[in-house]
């Protein structure tokens, strides 16, 4: 797999441009593919631990092929091209940045706005944001979170709750503290492709596996925090992807999450690995486009 650097020339070639707005952060970065003022709008939230330009191939077809206005966001303070420091990342500040993005899209284009939670924890963070009551025509998510069940993180829920106090203390005394994240081993079907992806993404982001302690804390707060908005039922039409050979999410986890949804919903099985959203994005893009178009 070849991953080319995202230079200015490449950006012009693929039709994207940078927009910067103010939220909690002085500069919230929107990586934007503009199709037309009357087209449907999709806000894309990727994993909160890397820059959006490191994973644009995952969703670029939504603009280039399916003719949506795409707004992919660096929404975490201090991550990617979003201004701020590591300690500025709180769930409250993240929501303030996303509110600013929503209002920008609604004011500059239309209220026909859809939400895509993509690339790992991006699906969980998007699901969290829906708990604010912000109005979207539809929602599609690659990853999902069951409040109180931290299985995808590889730690028991009881441990997650107990360690949050320690992490808050560490963040106060050394906000830039980080640790090396080691993903669970991929085995079986297409394991070599999954592993190869992680090897090659380091070309674009050498710090891909360097996880800030504060970022880990916020993910834990999202999953098990007492005030987590994951407890709020999703109300808009929701498309859930279930990857059958995922190194983080078991098939049972996807099913249990999907069964809790009481809104209009659809489950799409992808007979592939976790990183297939990047390696072969076409099946995902086709389903997302159809879901957005029918809402």
When pLDDT is averaged across residues 228-238 and rounded to a whole number, the result is: 96
21-59: pLDDT as tens digits: 999 999 999 999 999 989 999 999 999 888 999 888 899
pLDDT at 7: 59
Which pLDDT band, with edges at 50, 70 and 90, does 9 fall under?
low
Residue 6, pLDDT score: 56
Nearest to 76 by CA among 58, 59, 56, 97: 97
DSSP designation for 149:
B
| pLDDT band at 175; cut points 50, 70, 90 | confident
Please list the helix, strand and coil fractions of the chain in percent, rounded to the nearest 5, in that order.
Answer: 40, 20, 40
- Among the listed ranges 24-28, 43-47, 203-207, 230-234, which one has the minimum average pLDDT value? 203-207
**Three-class SS of residue 228?**
coil
Edge-first strand listing for the sheet containing 17-21: 17-21, 28-33, 69-74, 41-45, 113-117, 139-141, 238-245, 265-273
- The predicted model scores a pTM of 0.93
Q: Tens digit of pLDDT for each residue in 176-202?
A: 899 888 888 888 899 999 999 888 888
Q: Using alpha carbons, list the distances in angstroms from residue 143 to 54, 170, 273.
A: 18, 28, 12
What's the pLDDT at 1? Answer: 44
Mean predicted lDDT score pLDDT of the chain: 92
Residues 284-293 pLDDT 10s: 999 999 999 9
Bridge partners (DSSP) listed for residue 74: 29
Longest distance between any two alpha carbons in the chain, whole Å: 50
pLDDT for res 136: 97
Cβ neighbourhood burial of 195 (10 Å; 0-12, 13-18, 19+):
middle
**pLDDT of res. 5:** 52
Residue 14 has pLDDT above 60, yes or no: no
Question: pLDDT exceeding 70 applies to what percent of the chain?
Answer: 95
Model confidence band, residue 167 (pLDDT cutoffs 50, 70, 90) = very high
Q: Collapsing DSSP states into helix, strand and coil, what is residue 114?
A: strand
Residue 13 has pLDDT above 80, yes or no: no
Domains of the chain: 8-293 (3.40.50.1820)
pLDDT the model gives residue 84: 95
Q: Span 217-230, mean pLDDT? A: 96
pLDDT digits (tens, 9 = 90+) for 131-148: 999 899 999 999 999 999
pLDDT band at 83 (very low <50, low <70, confident <90, very high): very high
- Cα–Cα distance, 169 to 52 (Å, whole number): 29
**Residue 231 pLDDT grade (very low, low, confident, very high; cuts 50, 70, 90):** very high
Q: How far is CA 225 from the centre of its chain?
A: 19
pLDDT at 206 over 50: yes
């Amino acid at each position: 797999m070849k991953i080319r650097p995202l230079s200015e020339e490449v950006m012009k070639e693929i039709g994207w441009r940078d927009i910067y707005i103010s939220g909690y952060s002085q500069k919230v970065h929107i990586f934007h593919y503009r199709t037309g003022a009357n087209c449907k709008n999709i806000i894309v939230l990727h994993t909160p631990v890397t820059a959006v330009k490191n994973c644009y191939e995952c969703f670029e077809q939504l603009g280039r092929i399916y003719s949506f206005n795409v707004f992919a966001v660096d929404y975490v303070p201090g991550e990617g091209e979003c201004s701020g420091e590591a300690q500025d990342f709180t769930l409250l500040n993240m929501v303030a940045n996303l509110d600013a993005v929503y209002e920008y899209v609604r004011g500059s284009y239309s209220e026909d706005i859809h939400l895509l939670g993509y690339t790992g924890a991006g699906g969980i963070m998007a699901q969290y944001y829906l708990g604010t009551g912000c109005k979207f025509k539809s929602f599609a998510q690659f990853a999902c979170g069951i409040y109180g069940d931290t299985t995808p993180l590889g730690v028991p829920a009881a441990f997650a709750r107990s360690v949050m106090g320690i992490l808050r203390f560490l963040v106060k005394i050394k906000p830039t503290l980080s640790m090396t994240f080691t993903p669970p081993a991929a085995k079986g079907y297409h394991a070599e492709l999954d592993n190869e992806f992680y090897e090659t993404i380091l070309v674009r982001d050498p710090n891909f596996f360097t996880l800030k302690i504060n970022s880990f804390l916020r993910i834990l707060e999202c999953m098990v925090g007492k005030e987590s908005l994951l407890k709020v039922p999703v109300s808009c039409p929701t498309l859930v992807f279930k990857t059958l050979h995922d190194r983080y999410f078991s098939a049972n986890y996807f099913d249990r999450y999907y069964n809790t949804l009481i809104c209009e919903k659809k489950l799409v099985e992808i007979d592939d690995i976790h990183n297939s959203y990047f390696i072969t994005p076409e099946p995902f893009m086709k389903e997302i486009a159809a879901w957005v178009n029918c809402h």
